[in-house]
């Protein structure tokens, strides 16, 4: 039931049987259907969700009503901390209103832990606290690199990087969401797709 989560944890900290049993006791399984909105802007995040399988996205809506994809959540060999944890982490750790919405794009199963239990583990388990710190560091590093890439690399570079890592998402996620994730227009995304196809066919 928690095999993928345990495998991910083992990549960062090594828990003995007792430490894992304590961590495991704070988890539950939640399932969601395609099309559900499981978190709304204005709400305070109260759960840390690890994606076992499925597909989801976090997005914001600007003052003009335009939708912007912040992150796509999936779990495979190309996933990182940002993709695996389905949460507005800033809202969770600071217990403040979120700016994000989270939508289920494909039926999902997630391992869930409450904010209260997360802090309980931080206080009672050195391994739990270390795991949480490593996740914060990895998340910050990933977002840092995303912003630098947006500022210093071309749209073509960002698209080709996306295609080299996760080309299958083009068939699973609506094109508009991919475009806003990459910081480009849907029209430019279509053009880049055509150029990419002609270069690599």
Predicted pLDDT at 201: 56
| pTM for this entry | 0.91
- On the question of pLDDT at 75 being above 60, the answer is yes
pLDDT single digits (tens) 126-177: 999 999 999 989 888 888 888 888 889 998 999 999 998 999 999 999 999 9
C-beta separation of 8 from 50 below 8 A: yes
Secondary structure of the chain in the HEC alphabet?
CCHHHHHHHHCCCCCCHHHHHHHHHCCEEEEECCCCEEECCCCECCEEEEEEEEEEEEEEECCCCCEEEEEEECCCCCCCHHHHECCCHHHHHHCCECCCEEEEEEEEEEEEEEHHHHHHHHHHCHHHHHHHHHHHHHHHHHHHHHHHHHHHCCHHHHHHHHHHHCCCHHHHCCHHHHHHHHCCCHHHHHHHHHHHHHHHC
Q: What mean pLDDT is reported for the chain?
A: 92
Strands 47-61 and 37-39: unpaired
How many residues are listed for the chain in this entry? Answer: 201
Q: Taken in order 109, 69, 92, 4, is the CA torsion positive or negative?
A: positive
Residue 198 pLDDT more than 90?
Answer: no
Beta-strand pair 28-32/101-114? antiparallel
pLDDT tens by residue, 19-55: 999 999 999 999 999 999 999 999 999 999 999 999 9
- Say which residue the tokens 């480009």 belong to: 184
- Strand 101-114 with 47-61, pairing: antiparallel
Res. 197: pLDDT tops 80: no
Q: Is the distance from CB of 163 to CB of 196 less than 8 angstroms? A: yes
- What integer pLDDT is reported at residue 104 of this predicted model? 98
Q: What is the pLDDT of residue 144?
A: 87
Average pLDDT over residues 100-109: 98
Considering only residues 95 and 151, tell me which one the structure prediction assigns the higher pLDDT: 95
Residue 13: is its pLDDT beyond 90? yes
Q: What is the pLDDT of residue 200?
A: 61
Ramachandran quadrant class, 104 (left: phi over 0; alpha: psi -120 to 50; beta: rest): beta
CB atoms within 10 A of CB 144: 10
Segment 106-115 mean pLDDT: 97
Give the C-alpha distances (Å, rounded to integers) separating 76 from 55, 59, 81, 132, 174.
11, 21, 11, 21, 19
Distance between CA 48 and CA 89 in Å, rounded? 8
Q: Give percent of the chain with pLDDT exceeding 70.
A: 99
């Amino acid at each position: 039931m928690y095999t993928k989560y345990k495998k991910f944890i083992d990549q960062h900290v090594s828990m003995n049987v007792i430490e894992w049993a304590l961590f495991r006791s704070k988890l539950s399984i939640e399932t969601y259907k395609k099309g559900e909105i499981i978190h709304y802007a204005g709400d305070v995040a109260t759960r840390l969700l690890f994606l076992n399988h499925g597909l989801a996205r976090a997005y914001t809506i600007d003052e003009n009503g335009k939708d912007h994809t912040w992150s796509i959540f999936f779990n495979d060999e190309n996933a990182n901390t940002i993709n695996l944890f389905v949460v507005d982490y800033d809202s969770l750790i600071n217990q403040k209103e979120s700016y994000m919405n989270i939508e289920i794009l494909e039926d999902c199963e997630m391992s869930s832990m409450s904010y209260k239990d997360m802090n309980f583990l931080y206080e009672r388990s050195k391994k739990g606290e270390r795991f949480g710190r490593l996740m914060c560091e990895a998340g910050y590093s990933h977002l840092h690199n995303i912003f630098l890439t947006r500022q210093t690399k071309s749209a073509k570079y960002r698209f080709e990087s996306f295609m080299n890592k996760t080309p299958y998402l083009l068939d699973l996620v609506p094109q508009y969401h991919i475009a806003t994730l990459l910081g480009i227009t849907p029209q430019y995304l279509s053009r880049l797709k055509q150029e990419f196809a002609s270069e690599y066919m």
